Amino acid sequence: MDLTWFVSFLLAFIISSFIYSTWNSIYRGRNLPPGPTPLPIIGNALHIKRGEMVKSLMELRDKYGSIYTVYFGHYPIVVLCGYDTVKEALIDRAEDFGGRGRLPTIDQFVKGYGVVFSNGNRWKDLRRFSITILRNFGMGKKTIEERIQEESSFLMAEIKSQKEQYIDPTRFLVQAVSNVICSIVFGNRFEYSNDSFQKLLTMFSVVFQDQSGVYGQFQDMLPTLMSYVPGPHKRLNRSMKRVTDFIRERIKMNEESFDPHSPRHFIDCFLAKQKQEKDNPNFDRINMVFTILNLFFAGTETVSTTLRHGLMILMKYPEIQDKLHQEIARVIGDSRVPNIEDRSKMPYTDAVIHEIQRFSDILPLNVPHATTRDVTFKGYTIPKGTDVYPLLCSVLQDPTKLACPTKFDPNNFLDDKGCFKKNEAYMPFSAGKRVCLGEGLARMELFIFFTTILQHFNLTSKTTFTEEDIRPVMTGFANIPKFYQMSFVPRV
Ligand code: HEM
């Protein structure tokens, strides 16, 4: 018996030593940036605190500097921190760092289809096409600005109907923002009272929360292991399937009335493109469905969460809210609808919105990038296809660009004369080849929604918000601010 135990122990010891030394020689043989020593199988999972991916990566930055390597399982991830390093990679070496990296929570369902998670020619075709449509070429009579203005008037009516009650604004904001995408993609909006639409939107929030939570973070680090572990990450595929079923149904409905000579919205434009490029698989049905899914995901939670976080910040700082009211009264007045040309005449509002985006830091880790070829960068060799995390949180809070990075301060975007001033730390949409393709749309939405809400309402809450309350909750993929109740008090 004792002998069996001894042999088993010896065997386990020999196998572990073999795995460790093989792993160690592979790991040490690479000229990747330095980082914490990884273990076989789990990599640096022990260096990432439970549920605190962003904080842990920022702490590693303090130890290893602006470029370091962590291992998720046996995959190396090169982490880039601070404006100078992120800019050098994403802008100066845009082609080298322009690939899309792995995001296992999403990849398992999306499988490289659609614009966000594709690479190579598929990505180039889908990106070029989507940008053209979002820039407003050849899509019906209404401009994108008009679609946002129309939705903001529905949002005002909905808020008024609440009669100053204390409410959680999340649902209305998500519905309004999502309706803008619906109008662009399907050509119609949905009533706020529409139950099935509300359920669909709940799916988006669930996906974002599950992906950013403790289990989602573990799945992004150790996908194989986590496929055996029960938890909320298991429902991600189900939630996404419900959204794609809805999209497929809408495409089918649309095909019946499709006229290639007068495209009315994104789906029509895609169908027309399919006809033109019959033999190009990049414009097939599955890429169409997943590109639309991408627009919904990328465009709904990001903008609505920024609005929700922004409203809380404006209640914390009533003096900033007052100044916004004054600028809106001076430039727009109380009767006409705000438009995007107003923005250049409203430096204070523009600065506050920039600061809200900088401070709320919606996607702190960015979306993973990958090297498109073997790259020599800062003296290291990063092989083709290595995942790269250009940390946006480290740029948005770069102490070399901001006097007090953790404090909310619109002066970060104002000069001594009160004119709008650019700040390089503003990089919420990332930069370079993969820069957010909805940036123009998102910035237009934020300006029109914020100014229209403030034109009509004073924002109040029973809660006295503290600095701690308004701080972004640094967790995983997306920063989701605290939920709160507020009242919209009509101004006229
Ligand atoms: C406040 C709002 C938004 C923020 C902060 C934001 C941020 C980002 C970030 C950080 C990325 C990753 C860029 C990279 O990989 O380097 C991204 C990508 C993307 N965003 Fe946005 N986004 C916002 C709104 C939108 C909207 C409204 C849309 C469109 C409807 C959109 C569509 C996309 C798409 C399609 C990509 C993938 C681009 C590619 O891979 O080539 N986003 N966004």
Q: What's the CATH superfamily of 31-490?
A: Cytochrome P450 (1.10.630.10)
Angle between helices 266-276 and 236-255 (to 10 degrees): 70
Q: Kindly state if the Cβ of 303 falls inside 6 Å of ligand 1.
A: yes
Q: Which atom of ligand 1 is nearest to the CA of 363?
A: 10
448 lines ligand 1 (CB under 6 A): no
103 lines ligand 1 (CB under 6 A): no
402 lines ligand 1 (CB under 6 A): no
What is the distance between the alpha carbons of residues 452 and 148, in angstroms, rounded to a whole number? Answer: 11
Give the span between the Cα atoms of 441 and 74, in whole angstroms: 39
Backbone region of residue 38 per phi and psi (left: phi > 0; alpha: psi in -120 to 50; beta: other values): beta
pLDDT at 219: 84
421 lines ligand 1 (CB under 6 A): no
Question: Going by CA atoms, what residue is nearest to atom 12 of ligand 1?
Answer: 367
Give 317 Cα–ligand 1 centroid separation in angstroms. 29
Contact of 220 with 476, CB cutoff 8 Å: yes
Nearest CA owner, ligand 1 atom 29: 438
Does 412 sit in the ligand 1 pocket, CB within 6 Å? no
Q: Which of 89, 42, 94, 51 is nearest to 70 (CA)?
A: 42
For residue 108, which of 217, 232, 240 has the smallest C-alpha distance? 240
- The alpha carbon dihedral of 366, 184, 203, 226 has a sign of negative
Q: How far apart are alpha carbons 56 and 5 in whole angstroms?
A: 40
* Contact assessment for residue 327 and residue 349, using Cβ atoms and an 8 Å cutoff: yes
C-beta 115 within 6 A of ligand 1: yes
213: exposed, middle or buried (Cβ count in 10 Å: 0-12, 13-18, 19+) = buried
Q: Answer whether 305 contacts ligand 1 (Cβ < 6 A).
A: no
Amino acid in position 381: T
Bridge partners (DSSP) of residue 381 are: 376
Distance CA 129, CA 272 (A): 12
Kindly write down the DSSP assignment for every residue of 39-74, as one continuous string: BTTTBTGGGS-TT-HHHHHHHHHHHH-SEEEEEETT
**Residue 198, exposed/middle/buried by CB under 10 A (0-12, 13-18, 19+)?**
middle
366 lines ligand 1 (CB under 6 A): yes
DSSP category for residue 384: T
86 lines ligand 1 (CB under 6 A): no
DSSP H helical segments within 30-161, as ranges?
A: 53-64, 83-87, 104-110, 120-134, 144-160
A 10 A CB-CB count for 160 gives: 13
Per-residue model confidence as pLDDT tens for the chain (492 residues): 577 877 777 777 677 666 666 666 566 668 999 999 999 889 999 999 887 889 999 999 999 999 999 999 989 999 999 999 999 999 999 999 999 999 888 888 889 999 999 999 999 999 999 999 888 655 566 789 999 999 999 999 999 999 999 999 999 999 999 999 999 998 889 999 998 888 888 887 788 778 777 888 888 888 888 888 888 887 888 888 888 999 999 999 988 899 888 888 999 999 999 999 999 999 999 999 999 999 998 999 899 999 999 999 999 999 999 999 999 999 999 999 999 999 999 999 999 999 999 999 999 999 999 999 999 999 999 999 999 999 999 999 999 999 999 999 999 999 999 999 999 999 999 999 999 999 999 999 999 999 999 999 999 999 999 999 998 876 667 888 899 999 999 997
174 lines ligand 1 (CB under 6 A): no
Nearest to 254, CA basis, from 318, 350, 187, 180: 187
479 CA distance to ligand 1 centroid (A)? 15
Candidate from 145, 429, 445, 447 with most ligand 1 atoms within 8 A of CB, to mutate = 429
Report how far residue 247's alpha carbon sits from residue 242's, in angstroms, rounded to the nearest whole number: 9
Nearest-angstrom CA–CA distance, 308 and 14: 56
Residues 6+ apart with CB under 8 A from 272: 260, 263
The span from the CA of 224 to the CA of 238, in Å, is 18
- Cβ–ligand 1 distance for 437 under 6 Å, the answer yes
Query: Is the C-beta atom of 438 inside 6 A of ligand 1?
Result: yes
Q: Of 80, 17, 25, whose CA–CA distance to 369 is shortest?
A: 80
The rounded Å distance from CA 366 to ligand 1 centre is 9
Separation of CA 438 and ligand 1 centre (Å):
6
181 lines ligand 1 (CB under 6 A): yes
* Neighbour count for residue 411 (Cβ, 10 Å): 15
| 429 Cα to the center of ligand 1, angstroms | 6
For the chain, how long is the longest CA-to-CA vector?
Answer: 90
- For atom 32 of ligand 1, which residue has the closest CA? 438
What is residue 26's predicted lDDT score, i.e. its pLDDT? 63
Q: What is the pLDDT of residue 23?
A: 63
